């Protein structure tokens, strides 16, 4: 077993200190290989230690300017620090190097959305859905963004597809309820989905609040 493989095994088993030690040994033996730096960066990032993770990712990129996983790891650090514009640029670079995963497109889209560029974010979230049609987190984010842009007809089947995968997905029910409430006259369906949201998740206070508001409006309209 190579040192790198041994280090990965230790990392997978949660022995992070031992894994870092082995990766550092691998770096000493082959200091021009970016892989060891990326792996150490990933360990520190997983432990929430951005201060130590960042220089390892940056060092990897000085050794290999096409190291997509280093761009991705660094982008995650910046995203978690709410440096969304910087994160978006790095996710884009990661994708340009060939890291065309659903997660990469998803995080690029989320970074753009968080930076206030909703319409620019949309095609990236759409691409993420195309690459993984069963990832409920990606589907939910895409549906919410569509609804935010008032593309209600496009958003509805996205939320419904989540419920096909997970019938008791409280947030999908909530967003469908809001969608029917604001974009249709179908208050019954709105109430049904909102009720299911706070029944599944009793602490979903926003679903109950909107449900009560619709009920109150119905009573006043009678």
Would you say residue 180 lies in a domain? yes
Would you say residue 176 lies in a domain? yes
Domain region containing 198: 135-222
Would you say residue 154 lies in a domain? yes
Query: pLDDT tens for residues 170-221?
Result: 999 999 999 999 999 999 999 999 999 999 999 999 999 999 999 887 666 5
User: Structurally, how many domains does the chain consist of?
Assistant: 1
Would you say residue 87 lies in a domain? no
pLDDT, averaged across the chain: 93
Would you say residue 170 lies in a domain? yes
pTM of the predicted model as reported, rounded to 2 decimal places: 0.90
Query: pLDDT tens for residues 147-159?
Result: 999 999 999 999 9
Would you say residue 185 lies in a domain? yes
Query: pLDDT tens for residues 72-117?
Result: 999 999 999 999 999 999 999 999 999 999 999 999 999 999 999 9
Would you say residue 54 lies in a domain? no
Would you say residue 91 lies in a domain? no
The pair of structure tokens assigned to 175 is 């967003």
Residue 72 is predicted with a pLDDT of 97
Percentage with pLDDT > 70 across the chain: 97
Read off the CATH number of the domain in which 181 is found.
Answer: 1.25.40.10
Task: Inform me whether the pLDDT recorded for 141 exceeds 70.
Answer: yes
Angle, CA 29 vertex, CA 24 and CA 33 arms, to 5°: 80
């Amino acid at each position: 077993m190579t040192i790198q493989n041994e280090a990965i095994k230790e990392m997978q088993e949660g022995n992070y200190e031992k894994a870092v030690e082995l990766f550092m040994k691998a770096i000493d033996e082959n200091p021009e290989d970016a892989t060891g730096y990326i792996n150490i960066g990933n360990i520190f990032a997983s432990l929430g230690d951005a201060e130590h993770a960042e220089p390892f990712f940056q060092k990897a990129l000085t050794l290999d300017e096409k190291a997509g996983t280093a761009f991705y790891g660094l982008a995650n650090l910046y995203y978690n620090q709410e440096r969304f514009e910087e994160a978006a640029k790095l996710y884009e670079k990661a994708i340009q190097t060939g890291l065309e995963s659903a997660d990469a497109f998803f995080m690029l889209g989320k970074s753009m959305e968080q930076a206030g560029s909703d319409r620019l974010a949309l095609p990236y979230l759409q691409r993420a859905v195309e690459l993984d049609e069963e990832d409920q987190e990606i589907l939910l984010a895409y549906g919410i963004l569509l609804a935010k842009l008032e593309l209600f007809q496009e958003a509805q089947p996205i939320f419904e597809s989540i419920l096909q995968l997970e019938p008791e997905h409280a947030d999908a029910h909530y967003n469908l309820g809001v969608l029917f409430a604001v974009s249709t006259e179908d208050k019954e369906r709105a109430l049904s989905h909102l009720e299911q949201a706070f029944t599944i998740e009793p602490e979903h206070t926003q679903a109950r609040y909107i449900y009560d508001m619709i009920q109150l409006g119905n009573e006043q309209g009678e």
